[in-house]
Amino acid sequence: MRSVSMPPTACTGLEPGFRGVICASFGAAGDIAKQDTGGRPRHDLHFASATPNTLSDLRTVLGASHVGVRLVLAGPQADIRAAAAVAAECGLLEEEVTLLSDEAGPRVVYCPHCLTTTIDRAAGSEVECQGCATVLAITDHFSRRKGAYLGYSAHAEEAS
Ligand SMILES: [Zn+2]
């Protein structure tokens, strides 16, 4: 039986077989330090934003971690949403990932009509879907699976 070569971890500082909580924050998010890890070891990562490079680093960290690891993502929604997608790619389950979105930043709104997500930079109560141009009312329901707020057609009743 051949030994399996370990993925490179030198650049991440994460010990092989880490089974604690990985706390990744983006931008100016600072409150993640208060996140309760329930006494489990934690590994902090901080990125300025979710870029192909930083997401690649995150992928390396998650690839080096073992089953049972938990991931906490904090920062602007667009960033943590991209990071959550990487986590899903790496096999983390939805319940293993906690998203702490920065409410002050732009929100991401999911359109149920064309399944597109639109970044709402105006932080209003409505946003025009970039996929189908439907004016979406933004609900308070945040889908952790989609990493976005769910929208619905704001003027559906008026149009009928
Ligand atoms: Zn749409």
Q: Is 51 in the same domain as 29?
A: yes
Q: Is 11 in the same domain as 43?
A: yes
CA of 122 to the centre of ligand 1 (A): 18
The model carries a pTM of: 0.63
Q: Is 154 in the same domain as 95?
A: no
Cα separation of 123 and 52, whole Å? 26
Q: Which residues contact 72 (CB under 8 A, 6 or more apart)?
A: 21, 22, 23, 24, 32, 35, 97, 98, 100
Cα separation of 72 and 1, whole Å? 36
Q: Is 158 in the same domain as 144?
A: yes
Output the pLDDT for position 33.
Answer: 60
Identify the DSSP state of 134: P
CA of 153 to the centre of ligand 1 (A): 9
Output the pLDDT for position 123.
Answer: 67
pLDDT per residue as tens digits for the range 96-139: 998 887 766 678 899 999 999 998 877 678 999 999 999 999 98
Q: Which domain holds residue 154?
A: 106-160
Quote the tokens at residue 83.
Answer: 């990071």
CA of 84 to the centre of ligand 1 (A): 22
Q: Is 55 in the same domain as 98?
A: yes
Q: Is 77 in the same domain as 110?
A: no
CA of 32 to the centre of ligand 1 (A): 33
